[in-house]
Structure 1
């Protein structure tokens, strides 16, 4: 949680319940500290969820499908997103919100396809939150019967806990990361509605056991849909686009 990693630099509803109370012996009680951390965590998530619900209502009014793309760094998420919007823009209105700690490189790659993109730089923050997405939406047109793709900061920990108002989290899991990633980061794999197994064109060059990886995924999240694909060759993209169309129909 961000109350532990420290990336939540300015929580909107954080309260210090021991303000003005000091101890002469110079250390905080462990129980008091735990209570403060739990209260801060509750306040952060409650405030975030309130904004996320507002976003969800706004998107539902426009029949807009919003997806939160999450992954570890280097999974090929941006390359996959570029290929996705190239194919999708002829079918439906589409826009992208890009999250990175620094630079606007990824947003520039999206804009080069002719699709609108808003870049969010989180600085020391390790994830997007609902307030950031809410503010970014003010820079995008309404996407009636369209798709909003939110590329989160590369991180398999904190983004699992933060609702951005999306329909589903889509986890990009690269075959170069090893089969045991689902067991190392179970919270994120449990939160995913769809897992895209990316870079499958590299399988002939890797010692990646697909059966073992699928077994670990099912151990953590037996209900998640899984699509194997390659953003480089385009293999598997029709399945991915078909899943998107199904979700759009339900939006």
Structure 2
């Protein structure tokens, strides 16, 4: 049984990788760079992204955002306050986004002239780490309230990041966050990766993040992480999610 589950997982990931490669090439021809944002729930990802989008709109930059959740369109509403074009993806229980889902929305919705597309992945540091979306930049975010050992607990996510963003830094003192230990743990799983500090409440790090993203869009080299997306294992109880659930996930997408 284990071998057959592994074979299905490998086949799903191989298909996704092929679609992601094709999507990356198609986006490059259109002059679009994709930023894939990964984090746990509650990291402050949506609030920070909203601030970044608002700053981009102030600068008349051609940006857009797709945000993914299992249910509700709450985050799309929050992000839309920035003035940027925003679309919600509902995954209907699927714990991550895949290249085929992104491709469908790029083809049917992405506004003409967009050069920078932010994708807010499902709040989860396990499943999304295995799936290439055709992104130009993979950003992994973590709040200081999550603990400095988080990179060691989720090495695939942090080890596949082109950039790491530490959020809610205004709470570092009350949370007893050990920033030196966190930095050491990040470098242990992803040597040389840049760690950017941010606080959406004060706006700290918003401009820095936007500038990093724009630099990549304009051709700046990105950090090469040691890990490529790799398979995750749910165990027998969830083995169906890469077959039946994947086939049905399209129905949960907001048209």
Give TM-score scaled by structure 1 length. Answer: 0.84
Structure 2: unaligned runs, 5 residues or longer: 221-255
1:118-137 maps to which residues of 2 (within 5 A)? 118-137=87-106
Deviation (angstroms), 1:245: 2.2
In 2, Cα distance between equivalents of 1:207 and 1:111: 34
1:219 aligns with 2:213: no
In 2, Cα distance between equivalents of 1:223 and 1:67: 20
Structure number with greater CO (CA < 8 Å, separation at least 6) is: 2
In 2, Cα distance between equivalents of 1:236 and 1:111: 21
Deviation (angstroms), 1:140: 1.6
1:155 aligns with 2:120: no
1:237 aligns with 2:210: no
Q: What is the match of residue 197 of structure 2?
A: 228
Q: What's the Cα RMSD here?
A: 1.3
1:139 aligns with 2:109: yes
Q: What is the match of residue 46 of structure 1?
A: 14
Which stretch has the larger CA shift, 147-156 or 221-230? 221-230
**What secondary structure sits across from 2:162 in the alignment?**
strand
Q: Which structure shows the higher helix fraction?
A: 2
Deviation (angstroms), 1:117: 1.2
Residue deviations 1:195-245 (CA, integer Å, cap 9, x gap): 010001112322000000001001111121110111110112232222122
In 1, Cα distance between equivalents of 2:9 and 2:16: 11
In 1, Cα distance between equivalents of 2:98 and 2:131: 6
Q: What is the match of residue 55 of structure 1?
A: 23
Q: What is the match of residue 66 of structure 1?
A: 34
Q: Is the 8 A contact 2:36 2:133 kept in 1?
A: yes
1:197 aligns with 2:166: yes
Q: Is the 8 A contact 2:35 2:213 kept in 1?
A: no
In 1, Cα distance between equivalents of 2:113 and 2:39: 25
1:5-20 maps to which residues of 2 (within 5 A)? none
Deviation (angstroms), 1:91: 4.0
**What secondary structure sits across from 1:192 in the alignment?**
coil
In 2, Cα distance between equivalents of 1:142 and 1:42: 35
Deviation (angstroms), 1:190: 0.3
Deviation (angstroms), 1:112: 2.1
Number of aligned residue pairs? 218
Q: What is the match of residue 169 of structure 1?
A: 138
Q: Is the 8 A contact 1:62 1:142 kept in 2?
A: no
Q: Describe the shift of the 1:142–1:56 C-alpha distance in structure 2 as closer, same or farther (beyond 3 A).
A: farther
In 2, Cα distance between equivalents of 1:98 and 1:237: 18
Deviation (angstroms), 1:142: 3.1
Residue deviations 1:143-167 (CA, integer Å, cap 9, x gap): 45x2100000000101111011101
**What secondary structure sits across from 1:222 in the alignment?**
coil
Structure 1: unaligned runs, 5 residues or longer: 1-32
Q: Which of 1 and 2 has greater Rg? A: 1
Deviation (angstroms), 1:248: 1.7
